[in-house]
Amino acid sequence: MLNKIQEHKFKIIIAIFIVLCFVLIRSFENQLFYDPLLVYFDSDFKSLPFPEIDFLKLFFGLLLRYFLNSALSLLLIYILFKDMEIFKFSTFLYLFFFLILFGMFFIILKFFPDGNWLLFYVRRFIIQPIFVLLFIPAFYYQMQNLKK
């Protein structure tokens, strides 16, 4: 076990650094990104209308956050697996989910004023690195099955 840790010391250090970057993004979200929905979802939002939003600033704030989380996630996936096919597939998935989630987000925001719970969960997938938590075990499982 100790030999494996020594063997993969560089991977472990880089992975820890990437996780710390995720923590920093989360810690400084109020200073780094325009998102009036942070305060809205911290309150009792079930009965409140959506706050006044500058759609362009919100889009670019969410885009920057999604890009940072995606870039760190893709780097983590590459560091862990060292497989270009997995990296390319992950990149495609992140781009695909970007289009789907951002489209849903702004449609809900614009046309469904009572869709605050739906907006809450779609936004959660945009601003949090949830996909990497799904992809890493899935790719690991796939690699283990290919070895058999």
Q: What is the pLDDT of residue 4?
A: 72
CB 98 within 8 A of CB 29: no
DSSP state of 43: S
Dihedrals phi, psi of 60, to nearest 5 degrees: -70, -30
pLDDT tens digits, one per residue of 74-132: 999 999 999 999 999 999 999 999 999 999 999 999 999 888 899 999 999 999 999 99
Residue 2 scores a pLDDT above 90: no
Long-range contacts from 12-16, C-beta under 8 angstroms, 24+ separation: 14/79, 15/76, 15/79, 15/80
DSSP state of 79: H
> Which amino acid, one-letter code, is at 146?
L
Q: Kindly report the pTM of this predicted structure.
A: 0.90
Concatenate the DSSP letters of all residues of 19-46 into one string. HHHHHHHHHTHHHH---THHHHHHS-GG
The residue written with tokens 């870039």 in the block is 71
pLDDT tens digits, one per residue of 56-65: 999 999 999 9
pLDDT tens digits, one per residue of 5-37: 777 888 999 999 999 999 999 999 999 999 998
